[in-house]
Amino acid sequence: MTRIIDGKQLAAQVVDDVATEAKLFLDKHGVKPGLAVVLVGEDPASQVYVRNKIKRAEESGLNSIEHKLPADIDQNTLDQLIDQLNQDPAVHGILVQLPLPDHLDENAVINSILPAKDVDGFHPVNVGLLSSGQDAMVPCTPLGCLIMLRQVMDDLTGKHAVVVGRSNIVGKPMAALLLRENCTVTTVHSRTQNIEQICSEADILVVAVGSPEMVKADWVKPGAVVIDVGINSVEHDGAYKLKGDVDYQAVAPVASAITPVPGGVGPMTIACLMKNTLTAATQQLS
């Protein structure tokens, strides 16, 4: 029987654990771990993500601070806000919701956040630490994927892991995490030749490309664990449904374990943001 990895249930466990630790943190330090969320503009998807993050922060016993900024804000004003948050002792984690409007420099914004408060794990210092196998703030989605893998695999050592996608947000940090777990890691992408053959050799298949149902059953080794990071809105008979990057109905009978979409990686991403905020607060006050 294929095991369905329930991201909602696992995320609830992570949030409960964070809430317990956050209460101990409050008792010890007299403050709640603080998460500042910066939202620029009126992008509907970003607004939904931010609402969910703030809700989870409250459930986790964190102090959430929201900054809503107009879409036409200039770079200097945004930089000044980041600087204020960097210096605010009540703020332990800073998240700037991406994407930003085109006139703003995303890399400059990411680089301006103190690495210690970079709960997204995007700052070059954290990227470098992770890549070199040192302790780092790990991006939330790859961290959630790793927690899910550990739920269904006792030991990842020696497993052949294939990561489909090479983005800075998921693909690259996911590969670094799997290397740290002693996997043999292959990264494939849009320019890879024989991608289906390479994927079919994987014990662990993590797919993050943003292409609906790209991975078919013959791409998957029987008994492999499949983590589907993709969230794609697809129209069908006049209605929109969320689909992953994996053809779930075809692949599920082949895999030993698989994440659904929705209800898989998505909830874990937000839960790991809470986990990272608690980690950042603990490190800053230790």
Catalytic: which of 32, 117, 120, 275? 120
231 annotated as ligand-binding: yes
Q: Are 195 and 143 in contact (CB under 8 A)?
A: no
Q: What is the DSSP string of the chain?
A: -PEE--HHHHHHHHHHHHHHHHHHHHHHHSS--EEEEEEES--HHHHHHHHHHHHHHHHTT-EEEEEEE-TT--HHHHHHHHHHHHH-TT--EEEEPSSPPTTS-HHHHHHHS-GGGBTT--SHHHHHHHHTTS--PPPHHHHHHHHHHHHH-S--TT-EEEEE---TTTHHHHHHHHHHTT-EEEEE-TT-TTHHHHHTT-SEEEE-S--TT-B-GGGS-TT-EEEE---EEEEETTEEEEE-SB-HHHHTTT-SEE--SSSSHHHHHHHHHHHHHHHHHHHHH-
Q: For this structure, is 243 an active site residue?
A: no
167 annotated as ligand-binding: yes
Catalytic: which of 32, 97, 159, 221? 97
191 annotated as ligand-binding: no
State the Cα–Cα distance between residues 282 and 22, nearest whole angstrom: 9
Q: For this structure, is 284 an active site residue?
A: no
147 annotated as ligand-binding: no
Q: For this structure, is 6 an active site residue?
A: no
Catalytic: which of 32, 53, 159, 221? 53
Binding-site annotation, residues for NADP(+):
165-167, 231
Binding-site annotation, residues:
165-167, 231
Mind telling me the catalytic residues? 53, 97, 120
